[in-house]
Chains A and B, each alone.
Chain A
Amino acid sequence: MYVAVKGGERAIDNAHAWLAEERRGDPAVPELTIAQIRGQMTLAVNRVMAEGSLYDPDLAALAIKQARGDLIEAIFLIRAYRTTLPRLAGSNPVDTGAMTVDRRISATFKDLPGGQVLGSTFDYTHRLLDFALMAEGSEVPSGASAPATPGPMPHVTSFLNRDGLIETAPPSDTTPPDLTREPLELPADRSLRLQAITRGDEGFILSMAYSTQRGYGRTHAFVGELRIGTVAVEVDIPELGFAVEIGEVELTECETVNQFKGSRTEPPQFTRGYGLVFGQSERKSIAMSLVDRSLRWKELGEDFTGAPAQDEEFVLYHCDNIQATGFLEHIKLPHYVDFQAELELVRRLRAEAQAMQEAAE
């Protein structure tokens, strides 16, 4: 005799308890600390902050620990926490020209004011597993260092700008729309697109950028400049009448210089793509600037070739991994009712088709 499935509540509680146990792993092995994750899984922490849209390395590390290293799950935890936070003030725009850089490279000029600063990068490492890391406790020799050059560090694009070789990007003081406070409505302006892309899934943005390099809407990008470092965050305090520095954030900024032969409306000149991401996130910021440039086809009078990366609606509606993973995974929730309706339909259609076939014979 069938007994209706009861006990969903107990099953959930038990599942949660088991999950907590699995997260902890073997109790004989020391537990990970937040400081360890924050200090030694920095790039994961950076990604969680960037896509979670919340600059807080400790909370990002906590989220990674709680999510058992599943970064999308960690990003989700951060987003869900972020949405409950009161908005106390809006900062002034950060000045990346005044950034204290740890790394700053240009692929377009061999040398330039401010110099090439290689910084800590995987770029020229050989990807050989370092088995020495399996043995714990080995001391890492500290690298040679020089004091960071405090800003200002001029932007490469400003050199090109002097000759009118690159499009001007006129500064604007209009308050940008806020993706997290207003529903996304299309067409979106560039600042809204950049907001969506900077919190978009790194893998998705990477693939979109890659597709433009392979010919699905060409971007012809040079990395004019990639810089990583810290900038001050300043907030206007109305009672004081001036801005006060409330902290600093690490940012990665990428400016691409894109070949452009001119269009019906614009003269031949270089054009720009822009990427700005929390933390050290080079891949993401370069990808972001390619996708940004690709989405600007309309404003530059280029043709729409039907490439996915040119399609604002396609990119903006599908770049958010929290939305995507939620909708994707929800299909494992019960769908008995709809499936039952489909069963009835298919049975009826089959019976009718069979009857017609028999009648024909």
Chain B
Amino acid sequence: MTDQAYNFAYLDEQTKRMIRRAILKGIAVPGYQVPFASREMPMPYGWGTGGVQVTAACLVPEDLLKVIDQGADDTTNAVSIRKFFQRTAGVATTEATAEATVIQTRHRIPEVPLTEGQILVYQVPIPEPLRFLEPRETETRKMHELEEYGLMHVKLYEDIARHGEIATSYAYPVKVEGRYVMDPSPIPKFDNPKLGQSPAIQLFGAGREQRIYALPPYSDVVSLDFDDHPFQASKAPHDCDLCGAKDSYLDEVITDDAGGRMFVCSDTDFCAGRRAEGHVGRLGEPV
């Protein structure tokens, strides 16, 4: 049921046009953070207001929408955002990654490779990759303008000196098209390799920080590293206990108070699909 009291996808057309302009600019300058006049949304900042505004600006009535949080379709916030668009836009929804035309995500990139024509919308808390090195926005914008990324390399180097490796496990910074250093949102660095050369459009919305940025299809995206300490995607050294997948990102679930653990795919659609195909993990049961 569409809520008639609100415009299609909640935002008024003027606002959507303003957001679309920011998105287009973001696509034209990959990795550059475009300021936009973020609106108050009926969910709190931090719940994905940036992603919701970008999704609202992209949606057309024919779209098939998928919403995930932590890779899962049934986490409470994913349910809440999906319901929001069902109510305000009346669009059809799906859990199948391959079917969806627009996917809004928090903290994950789906395991199933995306295809041309799909849009992946990320919810972004802190869009500025340099923020924790330099708290001032006026300074970090200047650093991007001047392509002054030395501070970031010093930080990565210090990590190696101290820990023997780069001690960043999620929201791992990348360089886009050889120009802008970009925060890929808090996805685990396991997902970083999926950012580059993706056939899908990737849009990033940060509502509270009023920024939108984008990766057009087939962009060059390089995770920052050093020649002698190359970037490594990492995950728990286990297979999924439900579907047996060896190459998917896993959530750790505590099963008892005696140190019992199980590992399951964080991407619920991927895991369910594999089980339907007959794959069975260590603790799984045939479907």
Contacts and interface: CB of A to CB of B under 8 A. Distances in A.
Given A1-B285, A326-B45, A336-B70, A313 B138 contact: yes
Contacts of B218: none
Contacts of B210: 183-184
Contacts, number: 147
Interface of A, helix, strand, loop or mixed by DSSP: helix
B128 to A, nearest CB: 12
A313 B137 contact: yes
Interface in B12-43: 12, 35-42
Nearest to A52: B40
Contacts of A7: 74
Interface residues of B, number: 65
Contact of B208 (A80, A323, A334, A335): A323
B169 A344 contact: yes
Contact of A334 (B70, B125, B163, B164): B70
Interface in A61-91: 76, 79-80, 82-84, 86
B41 A4 contact: no
User: What size tier do the contact residues of chain A reach?
Assistant: 35 or more
Given A8-B76, A340-B236, A344-B169, A181 B71 contact: no
Interface stretch (B113-121, B147-155, B193-201, B246-254): B246-254
Interface in A310-361: 313, 317, 322-323, 325-331, 333-338, 340-345, 348-349, 352
Interface string A5-29: 1111101100000000000000000
B103 interface: no
A124 interface: no
Contacts of A9: 74, 79, 83
Q: Which of A322, A336, A343 has the most CB of B within 10 A?
A: A336
Contact of B138 (A83, A186, A349): A186
A80 B41 contact: yes
A254 B79 CA distance: 47
A4 to B, nearest CB: 7
Contacts of A173: none
A122 interface: no
B246 to A, nearest CB: 16
B46 A330 contact: yes
Contact of A80 (B12, B40, B186, B264): B40
Interface in B260-287: 262, 264, 266, 268, 283, 285
B159 to A, nearest CB: 10
Interface in B153-173: 163-165, 167, 169-171
A327 B206 CA distance: 11
Nearest to A327: B46
B46 A326 contact: yes
B40 A333 contact: no
A83 B41 contact: yes
A338 B38 contact: no
B261 to A, nearest CB: 10
Nearest to B42: A80
20 contacts: A2-B241, A2-B283, A8-B76, A12-B79, A76-B40, A76-B44, A80-B40, A84-B6, A183-B37, A184-B210, A327-B125, A333-B46, A335-B107, A336-B251, A338-B169, A338-B171, A340-B188, A340-B236, A340-B252, A341-B189
A-B pairs with lowest CB-CB distance, top 4: A330-B46, A326-B45, A341-B169, A326-B44
Interface of A: 1-2, 4-9, 11-12, 76, 79-80, 82-84, 86, 180-187, 313, 317, 322-323, 325-331, 333-338, 340-345, 348-349, 352
